[in-house]
Amino acid sequence: MDDEPLNFSELAVYAGEEHVNAYNSITTPIIQTSTFIFRNSKDIDDYVSGLNKRYEYGRYGNPTQTAAEKKLAALEGAEDALLFSSGMNAITTTFLALLRSGDHVVTTDDAYKKTLEFCKTVLPQFGVETSVVSVHDYDAMEAALRPNTRIFFSESPTNPYLNVMDLERLAQMVKGKDIILISDSTFATPYNQRPLELGVNLVIHSCTKYLGGHNDLLAGVVLGPASFIDKIREFHKTMGGVIGPFTSYMLIRGLKTFALRMQRFNENGQKIAEYLERNPHIRRVYYPGLPCHKYYDLARRTMRGFGAVVTFEVDADYAGTRAFLDRLKRLRIGPSFGGVESLITHPASISYYNCTREERESLGIKDNLIRFSAGVEEPESIIKDLEQALAGVK
């Protein structure tokens, strides 16, 4: 028994943490400090010579952060992990650590708005060009590769249409080239997909979503081989977007129930997607667990479940879709997902409020598009609220 590897739920509960902590505490302590003191000059010398591995200063690492990183690495099956203050900080720091002026990036188009904004507007300021390619067009992705392409970035499933990428095919595409394949796996989570096993080099998550899981923290993580993570960690020490010990603890705490929550999220997502598909006031549902989804077969082949997020089009115009939101009694309106509270968002009036309709449509954001994230409530109660709000659609 002792030498049996821990299963996924056991990793979520135990990995990364000491068996017994300070004062025999069962939980990992929150080491709430900005600095770590030295007893004397020999203590300093032992540290700088590498004889004594310890902590020095909060921006360079903290034991509570390390415990959270080890737990995440164990769940993802990664050699190492590095935490950041947010998912965006994980993405931007990783890119800037790995790129040099003159490099080229390929990214797919159905991606988180701020990631695309970073690639299109920030990277060019540092001499890095990005090609944005349709998420559906593998020939165009291959054609976009150049001798100076250093990063191929994709989300899977994507935000908000939940398109699923063929990560094995992408890995084949970049094989033998000096290209780092990075997948933002926020929507998949290590419970539902194992990108590193499919040939991806680095995995990024916004831990703000499923991993934290309680809509109460912001964090991001990059996971993969230590050789990459070491490089990013050195750069991160200069960039400084650290997570902090309290948030690290919140993440550890949230992860204890990760496997349980994911089971419920997968069940709720599937049931709600199936319900919405039958509702006459819905024009279209996007959920990889529905046979009508473009990537149903690929999702079934490469994923264990399809998560809590269901995207759909209401049979209404802009005003009618907003009126549907206003009729909801229990469900909360808000722009996030993956937490215990169900959340519903209207991208056209929240995330894309400063775009014209034409700009939104060119980005695929329709007036009647809704992104729904099921919480851990009973699916029947969620459906009841959706049902009464949809019944008012004219």
**Catalytic machinery residues:** 59, 112, 184, 209
- List residues bridging with 333 in a β-sheet: 344
- For 165, the 3-state DSSP assignment is coil
> At its nearest, how many Å lie between ligand PLP and the CB of residue 392?
29
Which residue's entry shows tokens 């879709």? 321
Least Å distance between CB 301 and ligand PLP? 22
Map residue 78 onto helix, strand or coil.
Answer: coil
> How many whole angstroms separate alpha carbon 19 and alpha carbon 29?
12
d(CA 262, CA 251): 15
CA 352 to chain centre: 20
Q: Give 106 or 309: the residue with its C-beta nearer to ligand PLP.
A: 309
Residues that bind ligand PLP in the complex, under the rule CB under 6 A:
86-88, 112, 155, 159, 184, 186-187, 206, 208, 218, 220
Cβ–Cβ under 8 Å, residues 79 and 95: no
- Looking up tokens 């890119």 gives 95
Shortest reach from residue 363's CB to ligand PLP, in Å: 15
Looking at beta carbons only, is 220 or 269 nearer to ligand PLP? 220
Cα separation of 348 and 345, whole Å? 9
Residue number of the CB closest to ligand PLP reads: 87
**Measured from the CB of residue 288, what is the shortest distance to ligand PLP in angstroms?**
15
Name the strands in the sheet holding 80-84, side by side, starting at the edge strand that comes first in the sequence. Answer: 80-84, 220-224, 202-206, 180-184, 149-155, 104-108, 129-133
* Minimum CB distance to ligand PLP, residue 206 (Å): 3
Output 87 or 254, the one with its CB closest to ligand PLP.
Answer: 87
Distance, in Å, from the CA atom of 336 to the CA atom of 362, rounded to the nearest integer, reads: 23
Using the minimum distance from each CB to ligand PLP, give the nearer residue, 63 or 87. 87
> Residue 173 or residue 204: which is nearer to ligand PLP going by CB?
204
Q: Which CB sits closer to ligand PLP, 154 or 270?
A: 154
Pairing type for strands 180-184 and 202-206 reads: parallel
Strands (E), the chain: 80-84, 104-108, 129-133, 149-155, 180-184, 202-206, 220-224, 282-286, 309-314, 332-333, 343-345, 369-373
With the CA atoms of 70, 72, 75 and 77 taken in that order, what torsion angle do they form, in degrees rounded to the nearest 10?
Answer: -70
Q: How far is the CB of 191 from ligand PLP (least distance, A)?
A: 16
Taking the complex as a whole, how short is the minimal distance between the CB of residue 386 and ligand PLP, in angstroms?
22
- Kindly tell me which of 64 and 154 has the beta carbon lying closer to ligand PLP: 154
Among the listed residues 181, 206, 175, 212, the one whose alpha carbon sits nearest the alpha carbon of residue 196: 181
